[in-house]
Structure formats: C-alpha cells, structure tokens
Structure 1
Amino acid sequence: MKKPPPLPDQPEGGPPSRRGRPPEPICDEAGTVHRTWLEPVRNRLIASGLTLDDLVSRSGYSKTRLSELLRGKGYYPGWEITYSVIRALDIPVDPVRRLWTAAALEAEKNAAWIRSRISDVQPLSPDEQPVAHLGLTQAMWQPYTAYAQAFLQTERRAQQLVAQTFDILWLTWNEATLSPHTPRYAWQLLRSRVHAAAAKRPDGRPDLRPAAFSTAVQAQILDLTERLARIDVLAQFFDTITQLPADQMDITVLRSLCGVAPDAIPGIIGLSPAIAHSLDRHARGALRQLRPDTDSQE
C-alpha cells in the first residue's frame, strides 16, 4: 500500500480548507472498546475536511464499506480495511492496532482470526511515538494503574484499561497538547474510563467497597471475626469517599488506597500543589463530617 497524499492544507489554527459531511452516528451495537478507536478516527476524518469520496480514493474501499466501518455497523471490521483508513487519515497505526485487537476480542473474535487479519497487512514503517507521550506513559503508568485497580480490583483489568487509555491519548495527542495542561487532560481521560468500567452503586457512584478486601491493614489481622469487622468499617469508609466531589475523591483514593505520597499527587492529577493541597484539606474536612472516625481509617 503506497503512502497516502497529505491531508488538505489549512492555516495554522484555522479550519480545514474544505469539510466533508460528518458521518452518521455510531450504531448502538458497537462495543465499548470498539468506540475507543472508532471515535478518534471519525474525529480525524471530520477535522481533515476530507469527504467520503476522498476516503474512497485514498483507501481503495467502496463508500458502502467505509460508511459501515465509520458507523460501527454490521460485522466487526477486518484489520486490512481499518489499516487502510487510518493510513489515509495519517493516524498512528500502533495504538489503533492494539485497540482494534482488544475490540475484536470484545466482539468475540478468536485469536486465530485476529492474527490472520493482522498478518494480511504489511505495515509501511513503525510509528514514532511522541517523546512527551512516552515520558508521560513511563511516569504515570504506576500511579494510574494503582488508581484503576482501586476501582476495578484486579491488576490485570487495571493494566489493560491504563494501556488502552495511553493508546487513546496517543491518538488524541494533538488535542491533548493544545489543552491548557496535558497531564490534566490525561488524568481526566483516565478517570472517565475508570469510572465507566467500575461497578456502580444504585445512585450511579462507583463502588469502592470491594477494595476493603484487598487492603494490607485487614490482611494482617489473624482473627477472622476481627478481620471481618475491620473490612466492614473500611468498606463503609471507602463508600463515603465516593460521595466527595471528583477531584477530592481522586486525591483521597490516591492517598488512602494507593499510598501515593502527598507531594506526588499534584503532578499525577495535573493540578497545582496549592489547588491539590486545598482540595485535600476540604476532602479531609468533609470526611470527618460524614464519618467522624475518618482519622482512624487514614
């Protein structure tokens, strides 16, 4: 497959030189992980100003098939057509391939089908990961995973979600770097995905209570009755944490459940030390009002 022509030129900060009609909405049957790569592809097409006819000429696929791919309609798309589209739109291949693979598993495609579809495509060259994105990934992998595991329970699920989050961040890197503060953009992306995947309370809050079973404190208690009582107290405390506003909850989870040093929290959540300290103080005060025994749980 030859390299596609460059996308239409546009003035810096200005709109594309022309705009195609936006694709129809994504179908309801498209899976959650499927949407994680499909939405950035659709956004890139809209931002590029290319029409569907342009995409036909660049990718070599029919308008019908491309329309179905962009809507997530019908069968899960093969890697060959997906690769053709992302190359035509000058989108990094590696993160899309990983997300495409995860979504294929979500669509109940077996490993042999996935390997076969990927082997049908000969990639042009490896993608060059932005240095700043690589640095952010290396710096935040551990705290992001700890935060995700507090809500998702298993390390495997947490690592999968964090890996997908960094791939989505790569696909939206231009948007992330144009935001006022890239680490804040990245944290909000992680938080939204963690909370979407977490178990929910009837009122829609994430359910942190199961985290009480995995704390080091209760694991050190040998007496079963005492341990169960301790778990119950911790579960109530963790449930109270989710009543806090989002940023206060994040800081409390990182500090109380993940064991992150207070000085490291501002850099993780992308807020200034002064704002993070103020939020932490307000969170502690709110928890003392909601649960007078808070101090004994921290």
Structure 2
Amino acid sequence: MRDSYLKSGLTMSELSDRVRFAKSKISELLRGTGLYPRWEILLSLSAELKMPQWPLQRLWQQAAFEAQKSKEWVERSSEKAALTMSHPVPPLDHRAFRELVEDCYALYAQVFLNDDQRDAAVSDTFDILWLSWNDALASPDLRRYAWNVLRTTVMSRTPHIDGRPDFATAAFDTVAVRSLVEADQAARTIQIEESLGLFKAMSRLPDHQLDVMALRNLCGMPAERVSALLGVPLATVGSDERHAIHFLESVMCPPPETEGNTP
C-alpha cells in the first residue's frame, strides 16, 4: 500500500481529504506503526489508490489472526465494509501463471513449513502478486520476480537461528525420510542423524544455492524445471548445485588430517 501511495502522485493532504481520515492516522498505517488497522481504513485507501481489494482483504485478515486478533474482532472490523465489496477474479495471465507454478511453490514451501503454514504462505504469495501484478509484468523476468515474493513470504514464516533458516523439522517430510517407513529402527536413526546434519549444513548455503538444493534434492525436480521456476539459465542451476555439493561435502565429509598434521 505504501508503494501504491508513492506511485499515485497524491500528497498526504489530498489522500486524507479523499478518504476522510486524519493524515496522522494514514501516515501511521503506511509506516507500519501503531495499532493493527481496521479493514475500513484499508478499504477506503485501496479504493483511492486503485488497488485490488479482495487479495488485500485476505492478506489483512491473515495478518490480523497472526497479530492475535480474535475472529470476532476480524468480523466486527470488516462486516460493514464487506457488504460493499465485489469478489473479482485475478487477471487472466495471473491465473495462468498460478496454474503453472503453484504445485512447485507448495513443494518448496513444504521444505521449510508445516502444512498449514505452507498453504498460507503460497496463498499469500499469489495475493501479493495480484496486488503488484503490473510491477511483476514490468520486471525484467516475471518468474524471478514471483520467486522472490515466494521466498520472502516463506522465509518470513520460517524459524531462524543466527540469521539462517532452521528447517530440519519441516524437511523431515521428504522423499528420503518417507522411504524409511519400512526400514528398521537402526537405519532410521542413522538416516535421521545424517539428515539433521545435512539440513543444518544446507542452512549455511547462500540463498540461491539453498533454493537450488531444496528444489533439486528435497523436492526432486529436474534441473530444467528449476531453471524455468527460478527464471535463471540452466547453466546457473548446474553451477549453484555443484558449488553447494562441494561445500556440503567439505562440511559433512572433511578430508582426513595428514600424518604430519596429527598432534
């Protein structure tokens, strides 16, 4: 909403006169400070700023629950305004793009989040894209723009330790671990210990290498699909994977010390 305001060319006074809310209240909202806003003010602002109201309303409601607002508060804050809202559909090209990538986005999100958080993150991603669809289309690469939105949304929900994502718990729901259902307990224990170490080491990878490894090795996607999904050349995917594997091997299987270096 702040970006839409800055692009609108309106002054704060003009916007205040149009929506009949105090400038201080609008400024507070656009800066993301103060109390969580009621839907009424967001609806008024979105109309003046020509923003799609339906995805904005869903994002507002989701964030309200995350801010510990009760269901009663959410309903009371939006019941009057909801009567005046239509339920439009996203642009056709947005819907087509979603059909192409949604399943892959969900697989990626599943590496880092539990089922409920995964679904919310993917849904929020496409709502955010709907709100910024013109910017997405005007970007150098729509796929890369959309992936950055997804990654930011997923990582905002992923626990972090020392600035790196802690995804071991969610990543246990992978092909490697599910394949051990029939294995004996000893094999499962060894695999789990190795997986914990692997996930911890992977969290130290640069962002682009982590994404490639998650998609290639935890989601099982072919390199060509990863290239198309991220909007990067196939050679870049291969290079990122090689560098990531080299790093992981150096961490997980360090070379033995030479005899001359043995204390």
Same fold? TM cut 0.5: yes
Find the aligned partners of 1:133 and 1:87 in 2 and give their Cα distance: 21
CA contact (8 A) 1:251 1:265 kept: yes
Q: 1:118 to 1:248 in 2, by over 3 A?
A: same
1:230 partner amino acid:
Q
CA contact (8 A) 1:149 1:158 kept: yes
- Give the stretch that moved more between structures: 177-186 or 109-118: 109-118
Match status 1:112 vs 2:72: yes
1:127 partner amino acid:
P
- Give the stretch that moved more between structures: 168-177 or 119-128: 119-128
Higher helix share: 2
Q: CA deviation at 1:228?
A: 1.4
Deviations 1:43-101 (A, max 9, x none): 11111110112112221223343233333443322111210011011011011100110
Find the aligned partners of 1:284 and 1:74 in 2 and give their Cα distance: 46
Match status 1:243 vs 2:184: no
SS across alignment from 2:161: coil
Match status 1:213 vs 2:172: yes
Match of 1:146 in 2: 107
Deviations 1:214-248 (A, max 9, x none): 33433424422331121001111222222322222
One of 241, 250, 256 as aligned partner of 1:289? 250
Unaligned runs of 5+ in 1: 1-40, 294-298
Q: 1:93 to 1:231 in 2, by over 3 A?
A: same
Find the aligned partners of 2:212 and 2:174 in 1 and give their Cα distance: 18
2:56 partner amino acid:
V
Q: 1:150 to 1:129 in 2, by over 3 A?
A: same
The count of corresponding residues between Structure 1 and Structure 2 is 251
Find the aligned partners of 1:289 and 1:165 in 2 and give their Cα distance: 35
Match status 1:98 vs 2:58: yes
Deviations 1:8-34 (A, max 9, x none): xxxxxxxxxxxxxxxxxxxxxxxxxxx
CA contact (8 A) 2:174 2:219 kept: no
Length-normalised TM-score, structure 1: 0.76
SS across alignment from 2:159: coil
Match of 1:177 in 2: 137
Q: Name the % identity.
A: 36
Q: 1:76 to 1:212 in 2, by over 3 A?
A: closer
One of 267, 272, 275 as aligned partner of 2:228? 267
Q: CA deviation at 1:284?
A: 3.0
Q: CA deviation at 1:292?
A: 4.1
Unaligned runs of 5+ in 2: 255-263
Find the aligned partners of 2:4 and 2:174 in 1 and give their Cα distance: 43
Length-normalised TM-score, structure 2: 0.86
Find the aligned partners of 1:63 and 1:127 in 2 and give their Cα distance: 30
CA contact (8 A) 2:143 2:230 kept: yes
SS across alignment from 1:120: helix
**What's the Cα RMSD here?**
2.2
Find the aligned partners of 1:82 and 1:188 in 2 and give their Cα distance: 25
Find the aligned partners of 2:243 and 2:36 in 1 and give their Cα distance: 47
